[in-house]
């Protein structure tokens, strides 16, 4: 088969698209004919290399994808040939109440072989049924960011109707999902972006107040907009460049919920502000199967809408990385096997 491959850690020139051995499925796995897949910031970090993760090279990346069931293993009971499915990339012990807390929890595409290829062998437990009316670009791009944002806001931050939320980078992957989820939950939504186009998108998808962080300090803007109070919840996924202002944006007793640090993972922090204002710092990773089902049902029925900024052939995956790294446009970058185009 043809697959996206990382031959070593490095810049975009380590990405190749070419022949790779066809996957063989285990008893509990499903062979998926991939129709569309999508990139996340996770793919950038996987390509560059992350401490503590030793990948066998060449490595197929990709944590988002969707396609048609081609074959099922002997122990598979939920799917059959011809079913439409999407990948949910978090792998944990399903006997636990919260599999994301499994010490061996890992992510397809980050720690093990991903799905940016013509075919992928995926554990049955990591597949979600997709209604046939759902476009492949939507099915292949929604899972990771919408489950991440749903768990962050609904489960971890326990967002309530009437509360206020600041969503950083509201036109990015997690950001644009969090924007829609916060609006759905009945929150007053504050959103940041770096261009008028991105801010217009945010307003069209649930933002009540918008700020161009390239032109003004977003923490000062939040405090001005809220009469000095601050917001109840900050959705933080940038890290070092925004961390101090994210804390400053919170009201007393506020919650900062984070799922990543795309701009830097080791920020300076303001401990006196945290204890004096009794702030909560909440980590969140992926979602449980039930949470995934809950949010993706709302994607499939059109309540939530993944924004697709560009669709490219998998042979142009290096360009897809460039788009994300340069923050071009808004929403998800989708890649499709060249044979599908």
Give per-residue pLDDT as tens, 194-231: 999 999 999 999 999 999 999 999 999 999 999 999 99
CB atoms within 10 A of CB 280: 14
Q: What percent of the chain has pLDDT over 90?
A: 93
pLDDT tens, 270-318?
A: 999 999 999 999 999 999 999 999 999 999 999 999 999 999 999 999 9
- Indicate whether 27 belongs to any domain: yes
Whether 137 and 23 share a structural domain: yes
Residue 272, domain CATH = 3.40.50.720
Determine how β-strand 250-258 pairs with β-strand 231-236.
parallel
- Indicate whether 291 belongs to any domain: no
Is the pLDDT assigned to residue 244 strictly greater than 90?
yes
Q: Are 47 and 14 in contact (CB under 8 A)?
A: yes
Global pTM value: 0.96
Inter-CA distances, 12 with 43, 234, 321, 332, Å: 11, 32, 7, 18
pLDDT classification of 165: cutoffs 50, 70, 90: very high
- What total number of domains does the chain contain? 2
CA angle 100, 103, 108 (to 5 degrees): 60
Whether 164 and 232 share a structural domain: yes
pLDDT classification of 28: cutoffs 50, 70, 90: very high
Largest CA distance in the chain: 62
Whether 137 and 155 share a structural domain: no
Domain residue limits at 221: 146-283
Residue 120, domain CATH = 3.90.180.10
Whether 150 and 278 share a structural domain: yes
Q: What is the pLDDT of residue 52?
A: 85
């Amino acid at each position: 088969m043809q697959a996206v491959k990382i031959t070593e850690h490095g810049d975009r020139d380590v990405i190749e698209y070419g022949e790779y051995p066809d996957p063989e499925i285990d008893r509990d796995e499903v062979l998926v004919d991939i129709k569309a897949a999508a990139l996340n910031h996770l793919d950038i970090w996987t390509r560059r290399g992350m401490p503590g993760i030793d990948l066998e090279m060449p490595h197929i990346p990709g944590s988002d994808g969707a396609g048609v069931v081609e074959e099922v293993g002997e122990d598979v009971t939920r799917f059959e040939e011809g079913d439409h499915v999407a990948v949910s990339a978090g792998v944990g012990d399903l006997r636990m109440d919260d599999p994301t807390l499994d010490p061996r929890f890992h992510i397809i595409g980050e720690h093990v072989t991903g799905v940016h290829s013509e075919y992928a062998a995926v554990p049955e437990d990591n597949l979600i049924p997709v209604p046939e009316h759902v476009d492949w670009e939507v099915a292949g791009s929604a899972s990771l960011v919408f489950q991440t944002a749903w768990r962050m806001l609904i489960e971890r931050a326990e967002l309530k109707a009437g509360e206020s939320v600041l969503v950083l980078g509201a036109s990015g992957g997690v950001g644009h999902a969090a924007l829609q989820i916060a609006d759905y939950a009945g929150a007053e939504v504050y959103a940041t972006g770096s261009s008028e186009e991105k801010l217009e998108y945010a307003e069209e998808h649930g933002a009540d107040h918008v700020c161009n962080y390239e032109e003004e300090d977003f923490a000062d803007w939040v405090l001005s907009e809220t009469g000095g109070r601050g917001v109840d919840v900050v959705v933080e996924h940038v890290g070092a460049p925004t961390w101090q202002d994210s804390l400053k944006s919170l009201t007393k007793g506020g919650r900062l919920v984070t799922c990543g640090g795309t701009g830097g993972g080791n920020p300076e922090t303001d401990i006196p502000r945290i204890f004096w204002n009794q702030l909560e710092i909440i980590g969140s990773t992926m979602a449980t199967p039930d949470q995934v089902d809950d949010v993706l049902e709302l994607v499939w029925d059109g309540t939530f809408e993944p924004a697709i900024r560009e669709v490219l052939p998998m042979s142009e995956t290096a360009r897809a990385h460039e788009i994300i790294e340069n923050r071009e446009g808004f929403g998800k970058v989708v890649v499709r096997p060249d044979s599908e185009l």
